[in-house]
A and B are shown apart, each in its own frame.
Chain A
Amino acid sequence: MNHDAVLEQKKIMESEWGGGKAPFGVSWRKYMMWIFIVSDAFTFGAFLAAYGLFRVTSAGWPDTYEVFTAFPFIGVEAPMLFVAMMTFILICSSFTMALAVSASYKNDRTKALKFLGLTILGGSIFILCQVYEWYHIIHDGATMTSNPWGVPLFSATFFMITGFHGLHVLSGLILLTITALKVKRGFYERRGSYEGVEIVGLYWHFVDLVWVFVFTFFYLL
């Protein structure tokens, strides 16, 4: 074997990846969640792109500041206040989620449970707020095919996008509940890794991030 070939082989040997350990030090479970998130982002991307097209091509798209004015118990019109509050609550739940992940990695089960509980609470309040908002605009006369503010696709895209997002929040809540039960029963402690909490956290942050986009594009702009 000539000298170059030996060098080449030596180079190959040195480049050898040890195997068994992930290239970025990430387990396959976490990879899978990241990859799923990328995929799901494309679904939301398609919905939001479609929404953008309808909005640009429809004459007289309703002014969201005139549509979303309801706020429970205060009796006066408060444009965007309610949805701003919802958004704030959801972002807070992301914050508590991060604290739960941090606590679980420190093996602090009580603290992790507390923050997971707060996250579930935040998500549940968000869902209830959404129910209120849906109830309100349905009460105003909005359906999938028509609404009192003009362009029918306004309410159709609203129900579709917030509904699809709401389903994500709902499944996130189910996942969080299962995770909380597992933490409580010491499942992750036995396994020796609290990665499961972090993976559910990734999903929860994603769902929150999507809402930020929905809030920006559908409500604010």
Chain B
Amino acid sequence: MSSEQASLHVDIEHHKESFISKYIFSYDHKMIGKQYMITALIWALIGMGLSWVMRIQLAYPGQQIPIFETLLGRYAEGGILAPEYYIAMMTMHGTIMVFFVLTAGLVGTFGNFLIPLQIGARDMAFPLINMLSYWTFFLASVVMLLSFFVESGPAAAGWTAYPPLSALSSAIPGSGAGQSLWLLSIALFIVSSLFGSLNYIVTVLNLRTKGMTLGRMPLTVWAVFIAAILGLLAFPVLLAGAIMLLLDKHLATSFFIPAGLYVGDALLSYEGGSPILWQHIFWFFGHPEVYIVALPALGICSEVIATCARKPLFGYKAMIASLLAIAFLSFIVWGHHMFVSGMNPFLGSVFVLTTILIAVPSAVKVFNWLTTLWRGKIHYTPGMLFAMGLVSLFITGGLTGIFLGNAPIDIQLHDTYFVVAHFHFVMGAAALFGIFAGIYHWFPKMYGRMMSNMWGRIHFWLTFVGIYLIFFPMHFMGTTGVPRRYYAFTEFEYTMQYGGMNEFITIATLITGAAQVIFLVNFFGSMFFGKKAETNPWKAATLEWTTDDPMPGHGNWKGEIPTVYRGPHEYSTPDGKEDFILQTDSTGFGKMDKE
């Protein structure tokens, strides 16, 4: 044990825990991880509710939905959602899902919960700023939630907040106070992410237990580690952009506002700014953000697949290398979001090349998963089902990514439902499946009880089939040019033909959403009434399953932190008594130790 860890250990033992220090301002990385998880789940429900509102509007435009008026008040007077608030609901849905559900639900939850447990540390390097990280995130959540209740409604410029819509307070209702709160909330979120990333990186580098080399770290830790580096480099750029946008909004600078702009009939006095600059800044952050979300999900997927297929992960090193390659490439592909923004075609072709290159490490991952599954002794636990579902969604969404990465095809498909289908598969649903896989897999370690496998499987099938029913038809709409972000498809003949399909998608959305109740009941029910878990219910080889209790306390291990002797995913070992060897198993090493 290092001196740092020793002192931390002493701190913990002398630390009397009151309700507030244990459950609210907790320094324990596991509690902070759970706080992130519960907050993300609450946000997920809100985000899903918003998607229901949008889908109902798209399926039944112009019809009075009385419950809308009850729930949304002035945003839906007479039960009809107003167009300017449709776009606000869409903006908030995107923002909530990307930042508050997927980022917090993956990096925040599993980064905090798993890193110290899986590398053999008592806690994060700096528990205080870990706690601050969560509470800054909480503050960002509160500010974002407040923006629903301001006079002019929440932000309505999309989760990408493109100016001039986001920069001119008078442009639409949502551009006013709602947008300012949005920017403030995102700035707080960036600070929270910075605190988190600093901790994840130094903890992984410095607090590993004896024998835990980088080459023996579980893939989840690798993935979160790399995602933390991405966050560290991408978020500050968005911070700079957000500051400039706030200055544009409140001090009338024109960083992002071009000359000669009219609002109503009045010429605005801005000059010299560039809305395209915001797009560069935003997507320099935005594309790595996609991988900040995706990488931890892929890491969880790798680990769950290896554990539940009872086979060593095929190509462990290739998996790490592909994570690194994806992370590197993610910083030089942002231009593929801007093919129709007026980009030099030569520059565009460079971005096409780098974008398509991402297919290579992504394919490495997919084939390694498939070869890990190949002839494995597969245990169909809910976590495993969601991990395999992730592979399916990742392939479907990844293939459409190759279409969209090509500038000539993207010019046709840009801002159509094809794009909506693409990112909901590869980023939205795949990452969500990563969260579900992680929760089902680590729930026993989080709460010391088991979730119901049967209800988990039912939840999986309803969600998995539902996702395909919702998003697959959108490809067809997109290829015929149905634009995204439209309030209703009642004006043009070529969009009207999809009335039936829109209704179908909406019904699928409602059913899939309702199916999540199964998960919630299973989750909260099992927390209190689930079967007591064993220490290592999945017979997994990694370090977190070696704790003394099924549900470890602060400090994780009661005695010494175990020493690690081998890699993280050793299953189906030919000469072992069981079909797995714990990382702490020193059998076969004893002799050499004495030599």
Contacts of A47 in B (CB 8 A): 240, 244
Among B1-9, B68-76, B404-412, B507-515, the stretch that binds chain A is B1-9
Q: How far is the CB of A130 from chain B (nearest CB, A)?
A: 19
CB-based contact B2/A31 at 8 Å = no
* Residue A144, interface by CB 8 Å: yes
Among A19-27, A172-180, A213-221, the stretch that binds chain B is A19-27
CB-based contact A15/B215 at 8 Å = yes
* Residue B483, interface by CB 8 Å: no
CB-based contact A160/B2 at 8 Å = no
- Which of B201, B211, B254 contacts A153 (CB under 8 A)? B254
A20 to B125, alpha carbons, bound, how many Å? 12
Size bracket, chain A contacts: 35 or more
- Which of B236, B254, B563 contacts A43 (CB under 8 A)? B236
CB-based contact B233/A39 at 8 Å = yes
CB-based contact A46/B236 at 8 Å = yes
* Residue A17, interface by CB 8 Å: yes
A193 to B100, alpha carbons, bound, how many Å? 40
CB-based contact A28/B207 at 8 Å = yes
Among A50-58, A81-89, A181-189, A203-211, the stretch that binds chain B is A50-58
CB-based nearest B residue for A48: B240
CB-based nearest B residue for A46: B240
Given the known inter-chain contacts A35-B232, A160-B244, please indicate yes or no for A28 contacting B206, CB distance below 8 A: yes
CB-based contact A156/B247 at 8 Å = yes
- Which of B4, B239, B240 contacts A27 (CB under 8 A)? B4
CB-based contact B251/A19 at 8 Å = no
CB-based contact A156/B240 at 8 Å = no
CB-based nearest A residue for B129: A32
Given the known inter-chain contacts A53-B274, A153-B255, please indicate yes or no for A42 contacting B243, CB distance below 8 A: no
A9 to B585, alpha carbons, bound, how many Å? 13
A153 to B233, alpha carbons, bound, how many Å? 27
A43 to B237, alpha carbons, bound, how many Å? 5
* Residue B592, interface by CB 8 Å: yes
CB-based nearest B residue for A50: B277
Contacts of B2 in A (CB 8 A): 19-21
CB-based contact B210/A18 at 8 Å = yes
Residues in B227-249 with C-beta less than 8 Å from chain A: 232-237, 239-241, 243-244, 247
Contacts of B243 in A (CB 8 A): 160, 164
CB-based nearest A residue for B588: A9
* Residue A151, interface by CB 8 Å: yes
A32 to B206, alpha carbons, bound, how many Å? 11
Given the known inter-chain contacts A1-B575, A28-B206, please indicate yes or no for A144 contacting B198, CB distance below 8 A: no
* Residue B62, interface by CB 8 Å: no
CB-based contact A19/B271 at 8 Å = no
Q: How far is the CB of A44 from chain B (nearest CB, A)?
A: 8
Residues in B187-211 with C-beta less than 8 Å from chain A: 194, 197-199, 201-203, 205-211
Q: How far is the CB of B206 from chain A (nearest CB, A)?
A: 4
Q: How far is the CB of B329 from chain A (nearest CB, A)?
A: 18
* Residue A76, interface by CB 8 Å: no
CB-based contact A35/B201 at 8 Å = yes
Residues of chain A at the chain B interface (Cβ within 8 Å): 1, 9-10, 12-13, 15-23, 26-28, 31-32, 35-36, 38-40, 42-47, 50, 53-54, 57-58, 144-145, 151-153, 156, 160, 164
Beyond known contacts A17-B210, A27-B206, A54-B272: 4 more, CB 8 A cutoff: A13-B592, A23-B206, A35-B201, A160-B243
Pairs across A and B, CB under 8 Å, 22 listed:
A1-B575, A9-B589, A15-B213, A17-B210, A19-B563, A23-B206, A28-B4, A28-B126, A28-B206, A32-B125, A35-B202, A38-B233, A43-B240, A50-B244, A50-B281, A54-B255, A151-B272, A152-B253, A152-B254, A153-B273, A156-B255, A160-B243
Ranked nearest first, the 3 interchain pairs of A and B with the lowest CB-CB distance are A20-B2, A19-B210, A46-B240
